[in-house]
Amino acid sequence: MGNVIASTISIFYSCIDDAPCVPLYSIYTEKGIITMLKIIISGSSGHMGRTVAELALNDRELTISAGFDVDAQKLYNFPVYAAPREFSGAADVVVDFSTPSALGDLLSYCLERKIPLVLCTTGYSDNDLHAIHKAAETLPVFRSGNMSLGINLLADLVKRSCAVLGLSFDVEVAERHHRRKVDAPSGTALMLADAAREALPYEPEYIHERQSRREARQSHEIGISAVRGGTIVGEHEVIFAGYDEVIELKHTAFSRDIFAVGALRAAKFMAGVRNPGLYDMRDVLNSAE
Ligand SMILES: NC(=O)c1ccc[n+]([C@@H]2O[C@H](COP(=O)([O-])OP(=O)(O)OC[C@H]3O[C@@H](n4cnc5c(N)ncnc54)[C@H](O)[C@@H]3O)[C@@H](O)[C@H]2O)c1
């Protein structure tokens, strides 16, 4: 007799009036098992961590196993641990909105337990990025400097614009964020510059400040500037300045919810991924097509 996998699956249906019944707590994994995804939120006491928690608590497909945060406050109905190693319970995926200093422990935790990791934190150093790539050789790892659908579409439009405009337009990226943001330029500004780089017919040099350069702008430059103030959630503008004409592509975020929605969408996608590798929002969006 072959192996028999015994499992008890409870599916509840919500039936309201004449509307079709909606299954609660149902999500298909690669193995076809219907289950409620168990997520861990890293940085759970922070602004984004709390936004993710509030959305996840209202999501029928998700349950929050734990939070990780050096500021281990119990704000919601799930336990919060100061360090990942303190939590030995089950989880299907970890969503991280914390700081680059959390990376080492998180990677060790996820590698040891083979739990896919969704990295939404920005400001990683080259060493951090190297560690992320190394981990992705054996673990499914998702990383995106911006989780919003609109920004990912903007990156695509930037790429297409650069392919058409080529050498004849100067490319500049400008971003504005709230006064609390510590890294500059934003991960998204770099992501947009990288999108331009992929399509431009030259290797651009990123210029972060012009004060010390007393010289005219060179055509191979991409200027990246950052403004910080107040409570601005996030604005990103890509400017194509040509001879007597300018094209501006701009995205404005009005609330953090858009990032949290994208992060949970990525979490659901990554929980079903078994192949190691580095994934990003394009994989999530393509999977929906
Ligand atoms: N990818 C995106 O779309 C996106 C969107 C918004 C914010 N972010 C990034 O997410 C990160 C968090 O943003 P925020 O506004 O919530 O910041 P925040 O300062 O409000 O929250 C960060 C949280 O991380 C915790 N923390 C600090 N060090 C830690 C460690 N070593 N281990 C575990 N937790 C630790 C802090 O205590 C805090 O609760 C930032 O890097 C930000 O740029 C990314």
How high is the pLDDT of residue 7?
33
How high is the pLDDT of residue 190?
94
CB 105 within 8 A of CB 85: yes
Q: Quickly name the fold that domain 149-253 has.
A: Dihydrodipicolinate Reductase; domain 2 (3.30.360)
Position 36, amino acid: M
> 48 has which bridge partners?
none
Distance in angstroms (rounded) separating the CA atoms of residues 196 and 237? 13
**DSSP string for 41-72:** EETTTSHHHHHHHHHHHT-TTEEEEEEE-SS-
Catalytic residue among 177, 236, 251, 268: 177
CB 107 within 8 A of CB 276: no
Distance in angstroms (rounded) separating the CA atoms of residues 192 and 146? 10
The ligand 1 atom at the shortest distance from the C-alpha of residue 50 is 16
| 245-253 vs 234-242, strand pairing mode | antiparallel
| C-beta 43 within 6 A of ligand 1 | yes
| C-beta 121 within 6 A of ligand 1 | yes
Distance in angstroms (rounded) separating the CA atoms of residues 238 and 251? 9
Class of domain 12-143+257-287: alpha beta
Distance in angstroms (rounded) separating the CA atoms of residues 196 and 204? 9
Q: Which two tokens stand for residue 267?
A: 């979490």
Q: Which two tokens stand for residue 193?
A: 């510059």
| 205-207 vs 22-24, strand pairing mode | unpaired
Catalytic residue among 31, 133, 181, 208: 181
Expressed in angstroms and rounded, the spacing between residue 120 Cα and the centre of ligand 1 is 8
CB 244 within 8 A of CB 101: no
Ligand 1 pocket check: which of 45, 76, 99 to mutate, most ligand atoms within 8 Å of Cβ? 99
Distance in angstroms (rounded) separating the CA atoms of residues 78 and 157? 40
| Protein residue with its CA nearest to atom 9 in ligand 1 | 121
Same fold, 12-143+257-287 and 149-253: no
- In the 8-state DSSP scheme, what is residue 216? P
pLDDT in tens, the chain (289 residues): 333 333 333 444 444 444 443 344 445 555 555 479 999 999 999 999 999 999 999 999 999 999 999 999 999 999 999 999 999 999 999 999 999 999 999 999 999 999 999 999 999 999 999 999 999 999 999 999 889 989 998 999 999 999 999 899 999 999 999 999 999 999 999 999 999 999 999 999 999 989 898 899 999 999 999 999 999 999 999 999 999 999 999 999 999 999 999 999 999 999 999 999 999 998 987 787 6
| Protein residue with its CA nearest to atom 3 in ligand 1 | 146
CB 115 within 8 A of CB 109: yes
The ligand 1 atom at the shortest distance from the C-alpha of residue 151 is 3
- Assess whether 181 carries a catalytic annotation: yes
* Tokens 């995205």 found at: 251
How high is the pLDDT of residue 253?
95
How high is the pLDDT of residue 247?
98
From the CB of residue 196, how many other CB atoms can be counted at a distance below 10 Å? 23
- Strands annotated E in 74-220: 80-81, 93-96, 117-119, 140-143, 170-177, 205-207
Distance in angstroms (rounded) separating the CA atoms of residues 268 and 257? 16
CA dihedral angle for residue 263, residue 46, residue 232, residue 145, rounded to 10 degrees? -40
The ligand 1 atom at the shortest distance from the C-alpha of residue 146 is 3
Domain boundaries along the sequence of the chain: 12-143+257-287, 149-253
Distance in angstroms (rounded) separating the CA atoms of residues 198 and 114? 32
Angle of helix 187-199 relative to helix 149-165, nearest 10 degrees, comes to 30
The ligand 1 atom at the shortest distance from the C-alpha of residue 98 is 24
